[in-house]
């Protein structure tokens, strides 16, 4: 459509020119004493147009000739820029291939090309299309590649030198992401050198948004664990779980391991209570944590009722007949509950009897019920339950403790033969 309109306009101009020139009989006379020149008006218009066109093209040619040196400098700057980017890509390729010396040389070559190009840019000016922010970003990345190669070669002096230069070049707000990347790499290098404190310092310098990224949180978790800051590591792991950085099973395993380490840091009952309250509700419902916390509380001479209260949160999970918990964990749960049965109340006794009625053939719970009856001085029922449980108990610890309890009951009755037999079985167990 546009071509058709142009064609119509061209025909219109041709028709107008023909009408104007065809009937124009005007004559222009030029007096140049002693000469007189008569020209038709049409010829004079053509001469003027030709002179204008000639002058225009002459001026344009002079402008092109005058700009040749500038164009030559611009071309050289473009060539150096291409060489600079080629050197930077070679450095990255060598680094990925494990050729750290070649990567360092290529990155230094890129820096040299960038320096020479900057000198030409000052002469070329804004017409070169060069962006100073991109130049700073490229310079910082080149320094970072040299520092990365030096880190792989264990040359800390060169690494720190180029790291500082990379940070200085990335100080502009337009290349803020480059600066964040450099700080993350510095934190990773500190972790590789087993310097968690230095890594934490680098991570603390990140902006709030960058510090909550998955990569930064992973490094913070590793640094906190290396530094022995279990509470910080647990909090970071919770954030990673919210970001879905781990699979569900891996997340539960990591949280459980860190929580166990945190529980081990308590050295008195009050510290243990504070640590337990610092855990999330889902974490306190984990049977492994409840068992470990209750056992350690009893080792620290804590309140038995508090230990039973902690174990109550995991009671339903442990008592499920088809739960995924291992028999070893159930045995640990029973041992932890047994340690806190000195002041057992009727509520807990009824709870244990209900489980025993629901699972009459389970020797582990028969042992627990027998121990509970023993604590309540129900000697006859304790004798019956322990005698039946000791026959089928598979766990060595429970079987030995059951025989010792039977020995104590026999000794209380004054049955020396039964006492000796029970002690002998306990020793064999």
261 and 317 part of one domain: yes
Within-domain flag for 191: no
Q: Are residues 304 and 352 in the same domain?
A: no
In this structure, what DSSP letter does residue 172 have? S
Q: Can you read off the two tokens belonging to residue 229?
A: 């800051």
Q: Do 329 and 382 sit in the same domain of this protein?
A: no
Domain presence at residue 260: yes
Q: How would you classify residue 129: left for phi > 0, otherwise alpha for psi between -120 and 50, otherwise beta?
A: left
Q: Is residue 228 part of a domain?
A: no
**What gap in Å lies between CA 398 and CA 371, rounded to an integer?**
11
pLDDT (tens place) for every residue of the chain, 429 residues total: 888 888 888 878 777 777 766 677 777 787 878 878 777 777 778 888 899 999 999 999 898 888 888 888 888 878 888 888 899 999 999 999 999 999 999 999 988 888 877 776 665 554 555 556 677 888 889 999 999 999 999 999 999 999 998 888 665 555 678 888 899 999 999 999 999 999 999 999 888 888 889 999 999 999 999 988 989 999 999 999 988 888 888 988 999 999 999 998 888 889 999 999 998 888 888 888 888 888 888 888 888 888 888 887 777 777 766 566 677 788 888 888 877 777 777 777 777 777 777 777 777 878 888 887 887 777 777 788 878 878 777 778 888 888 887 787 777 777 777 778 777 877 776
Same domain flag for 333 and 411: no
Domain stop point among 279, 310, 343: 343
285 with 335, same domain: the answer is yes
358 in any annotated domain: yes
Model-level pTM?
0.72
- Do 258 and 304 fall within a single domain? yes
In a domain, 385, yes or no: yes
CATH code of residue 375? 1.25.40.10
Asked whether residue 284 is domain-assigned, the answer is yes
Q: How far is CA 209 from CA 12, 175, 178, 199, 206, in A?
A: 65, 16, 14, 18, 8
How far is Cα 168 from Cα 179, in angstroms, rounded to an integer? 9
Please state, in angstroms and rounded to a whole number, the distance separating the CA atoms of residues 67 and 33: 44
Structural domain for 263, as ranges: 252-343
Q: 312 near 283, Cβ under 8 Å?
A: no
Residue 303 lies in a domain: yes
26: left (phi over 0), alpha (psi -120 to 50) or beta: beta
Alpha carbons within 13 A on the beta-carbon side of 34:
0
- Give me the number of domains the chain comprises: 2
428 vs 375: CA distance, rounded Å: 25
pLDDT tens digits, one per residue of 14-55: 777 777 666 777 777 878 788 787 777 777 788 888 999 999
| The domain boundary residue, chosen from 290, 311, 343 | 343
Is 395 contained in some domain? yes
258 & 338 share domain: yes
First-to-last alpha carbon distance for the chain, in angstroms, is 102
Domain stops at, among 287, 322, 343 = 343
* Torsion angles phi and psi, residue 40, rounded to 5: -70, 155
* Residue 337 near residue 308 (C-beta atoms within 8 A): yes
Beta bridge pairs of residue 31 = 36
Q: Dihedral of the CA atoms 293, 296, 300, 301 (nearest 10)? A: 80
Q: Which helix (H) or strand (E) covers residue 313, if one does?
A: none
Q: Do 118 and 151 touch, CB atoms closer than 8 A?
A: no
Residues 338 and 352 in one domain: no
Whether 324 and 361 share a structural domain = no
If asked whether residues 314 and 354 sit together in one domain, one would say no
Same domain for 419 and 384, yes or no, is yes
Rounded distance between C-alpha atoms, residue 259 and residue 263, angstroms: 6
Do residues 171 and 140 touch, judged by C-beta distance below 8 A? no
Q: Are residues 357 and 318 in the same domain?
A: no
């Amino acid at each position: 459509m546009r071509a058709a309109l142009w064609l119509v306009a061209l025909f219109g101009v041709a028709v107008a020119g023909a009408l104007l020139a065809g009937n124009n009989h005007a004559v222009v006379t030029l007096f140049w004493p002693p000469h007189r020149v008569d020209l038709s008006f049409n010829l004079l218009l053509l001469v003027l147009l030709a002179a204008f066109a000639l002058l225009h093209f002459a001026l344009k040619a002079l402008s092109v000739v005058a700009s040749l040196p500038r164009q030559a400098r611009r071309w050289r700057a473009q060539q150096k820029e291409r060489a600079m980017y080629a050197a930077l890509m070679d450095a990255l390729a060598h680094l990925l291939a494990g050729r750290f010396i070649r990567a360092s040389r290529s990155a230094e070559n890129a820096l040299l090309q960038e320096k020479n190009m900057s000198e030409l840019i000052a002469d070329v000016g804004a017409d070169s299309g060069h962006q100073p922010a991109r130049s700073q970003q490229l310079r910082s990345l080149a320094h970072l590649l040299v520092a990365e190669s030096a880190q792989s070669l264990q040359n800390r002096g060169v690494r720190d030198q180029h790291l500082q230069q990379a940070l200085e070049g990335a100080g502009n707000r337009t290349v803020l992401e480059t600066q964040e990347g450099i700080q993350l790499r510095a934190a990773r290098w500190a972790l590789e050198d087993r310097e968690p404190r230095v890594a934490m310092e680098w991570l603390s310098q990140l902006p709030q948004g960058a510090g909550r990224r998955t990569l930064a949180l992973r490094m913070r978790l590793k640094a906190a664990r290396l530094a022995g800051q279990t509470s910080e590591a647990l909090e970071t792991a919770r954030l990673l779980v919210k970001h879905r950085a781990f699979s569900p099973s891996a997340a539960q395993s990591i949280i459980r391991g860190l929580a166990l380490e945190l529980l081990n840091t308590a050295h008195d009952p009050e510290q243990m209570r504070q640590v337990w309250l610092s855990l999330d509700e889902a974490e306190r419902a984990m049977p492994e944590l409840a068992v470990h916390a209750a056992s350690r509380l009893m080792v620290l001479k804590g309140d038995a009722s508090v230990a039973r209260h902690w174990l109550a949160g995991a009671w339903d999970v442990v008592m499920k007949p088809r739960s995924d918990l291992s028999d070893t964990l159930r045995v640990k749960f029973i041992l932890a509950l047994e340690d806190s049965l000195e002041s057992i109340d009727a509520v807990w006794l009824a709870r244990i009897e209900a489980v025993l009625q629901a699972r009459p053939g389970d020797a582990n719970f028969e042992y627990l019920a027998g121990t509970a009856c023993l604590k309540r001085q129900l000697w006859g029922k304790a004798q019956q339950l322990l005698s039946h449980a000791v026959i089928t108990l598979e766990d060595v610890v429970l079987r030995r403790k059951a025989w010792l309890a039977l020995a104590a009951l026999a000794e209380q009755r004054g049955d020396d033969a039964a006492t000796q037999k029970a002690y002998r079985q306990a020793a064999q167990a």
